[in-house]
Chain A
Amino acid sequence: MMGHWIIAPVVLPALVAALMVIALRGNLAGQRLASVACVLGLNGIAAALLWSASLHGPEAYFLGDWPAPFGIVLMLDRLSALMVALLAALALPVVLYAAGSGWDRRGDHFHPLLQFLLMGIAGAFLTGDAFNLFVFFEVLLIASYGLMVHGGGGRRSQAGIQYVAFNLVGSSLFLIALALVYGVTGTLNMADLAVKLPTLPEGDTALIRVAAVMLILVFAIKGALVPLQFWLPGTYANAPGVTAAMFAVMTKVGAYATLRFGTLVFPPDLPATTDLLSTLLLPAALVTLAVGAIGVLGASTLPRLAAFGGIASMGTVFIAISAFTPLTTVAALYYMLHSTLATAVLFLVADLVTRRRAHARLTEAAAPVARSGLIASLYLVAAIAMAGMPPLSGFLGKLLVLQAFRAEAALVWTVILLSSFLMILGFARAGSTLFWKSASIEATVQAHPPEPLAFAATFALIAGLGLLTLFAGPVTDWLATLAQTLDQPGGYIQANRLGKGP
């Protein structure tokens, strides 16, 4: 049992960030050291949480010792522990890359903002209270605004306004949905909602359906689901590369929240909503995948290509989530683990290329970049992972999704396979412009600092993909148990000790 450690992933980054702002202002070396130490600590805590969640099952942490439906609870179960571990595992290479590439030198407060972002995302994964989820969404958003415009530039600020405005509208929708839920049920604790919603009077079901759709809209904005994906390409392509890599886990917050609400609060067997979520999510997810794949094929710059690759991977994740059965959940989570790492690798490689290249456009060749061979092979690995080709985990993930949807093969298989083909084409086209056509241009290679740490960070992420491929068997077995607990949320609800007090 983890006790107070459950809140550590939220408190540790918050304290370290505050410390950095107060004590280490302007001291970049100190900030880097504190940031790496904090992320290492976060990894340790996440591993312990993962271990405890696998052994003991769901555990609640009552903030201020207030009993469950009245106070706020943080919930540790396999799903939240897995997401926190994924966050910590991604944060370490990102921090190293930021230090290695000098991105954190281009403006003040990169590391404190990153720690606040980690705090917000970890809180969103851990919380068991719907309003608290909103608060953590805002925490992670406000930190991400800072990271997004890090390093400055008029274009970045313009793209930042779009991003902020879009997300503020999303926050308004979230609050309206929460008000509807509270007005109907009188509670915002997620486990309490799971208990109260099945016994809802007939007259209130319309309101709950409206609230459910609004919540899904909010999570779709976060997860960049079509038709709400417009903010993502502009934001991610204009954000610093290292920030975009960290943002790879931010879209997964939307996927996580959809999975949590779709299995716990609005399960398919709930009379008020039945299969409402699935019928809305599946078509949107299929179109998302198609739009992402076409975007990869037509992208004008490498960061935009990476952004559309991210959209396509979210499409695949949401396709798998939309069924809300244990089998599809396993596929969704495995692909989510893979796509987070793969998207981050692609953004880092895109950053390695664009900082060395004369211009960012993919339509015309430029002089070869420094260390072209190494970067080209990194790009090849990232492209293989994103397109879902063997031998990396993307292939296994897509195979799991295809297998889970054998019943609806005609539609789902067609979209997934065709979009994979389009993505392979897009990646091949971009790669040949970047690395092959440039070889024919007679120009001296621009010298560039070697940045060993940045390359090491990219390799670490690729090693993560390799491990995910090698240990696919044990991972999917573990995920199968997770999917069972999501399907039968009795343990999660009991851990809240509703009405009995802690």
Chain B
Amino acid sequence: MEALVACIIGALTFTGVYLLLRQRSFPVILGLTFLSYAVNLFLFASGRLAVNAAPIIGRSASYADPLPQALVLTAIVISFGMTAVLMILAIAGNLESGHDRVTLDADDAPSRDDGR
């Protein structure tokens, strides 16, 4: 099970980083979402992987660590909110400037105008 979870985390991180390096805002947002999935799984695994163990003492022979579950819940809520904010920014930027490139335009850096 450990190897499987590790492979999934690795694949999610790979996809996330690859998409993050795109130039358009939509793949970047998708990449950040994949990255946060990977992070959430990793955070969950930090409390050790256990099967058939409730996070309550006395219900089963062994018990799962409840703290990482609480941490993951917080992280999910936060990354959900952040993705929403990023979406709104991306839509606003797209509507106002007519394109969805993540790079800043030439007029943001007038010092580089001469070189182009």
**Beta-carbon contact of A157 and B108 below 8 Å:** no
What residues of A have a CB within 8 angstroms of the CB of B90 in the complex?
A: 161
Q: How far is the CB of B20 from chain A (nearest CB, A)?
A: 7
A162 to B20, CA, bound (A): 11
Q: Known contacts A145-B85, A175-B43; is A298 also within 8 Å of B93 by CB? A: no
A168 to B29, CA, bound (A): 10
A135 to B78, CA, bound (A): 8
**Beta-carbon contact of A182 and B93 below 8 Å:** no
**Beta-carbon contact of A168 and B43 below 8 Å:** no
Size of B's binding interface in residues, CB under 8 A: 42
Contact with B along A112-152 (1 / 0, CB 8 A): 00000000000000000001000100100110010001001
**Beta-carbon contact of B97 and A135 below 8 Å:** no
**Beta-carbon contact of A162 and B102 below 8 Å:** yes
Q: How far is the CB of A30 from chain B (nearest CB, A)?
A: 26
Closest to B95 in A: A154
**Beta-carbon contact of B96 and A153 below 8 Å:** yes
B110 at the interface (CB under 8 A from A): yes
**Beta-carbon contact of A164 and B46 below 8 Å:** no
Main secondary structure of the interface of A (DSSP, over half): helix
Size category of the A interface is 35 or more
Closest to B98 in A: A154
Contact with A along B70-91 (1 / 0, CB 8 A): 0100110011011001100110
Q: Known contacts A172-B39, A183-B46; is A155 also within 8 Å of B82 by CB? A: no
B2 at the interface (CB under 8 A from A): no
A180 at the interface (CB under 8 A from B): yes
A176 to B35, CA, bound (A): 11
**Beta-carbon contact of B68 and A182 below 8 Å:** yes
What residues of A have a CB within 8 angstroms of the CB of B32 in the complex?
A: 165, 168-169, 172
Closest to A148 in B: B89
A300 at the interface (CB under 8 A from B): yes
Q: Given B36, B42, B81, B111, which contacts A142 in the complex, CB threshold below 8 Å? A: B81
A429 at the interface (CB under 8 A from B): no
Q: How far is the CB of A429 from chain B (nearest CB, A)?
A: 13
A172 to B47, CA, bound (A): 18
A141 to B47, CA, bound (A): 27
Interface centre among B67, B89, B96, B97 (most CB of A within 10 A): B89
A234 to B108, CA, bound (A): 8
A135 to B71, CA, bound (A): 10
What residues of A have a CB within 8 angstroms of the CB of B101 in the complex?
A: 158
Q: Name 4 extra pairs, CB < 8 A, besides A135-B74, A175-B39, A182-B67.
A: A158-B108, A171-B79, A179-B46, A183-B46
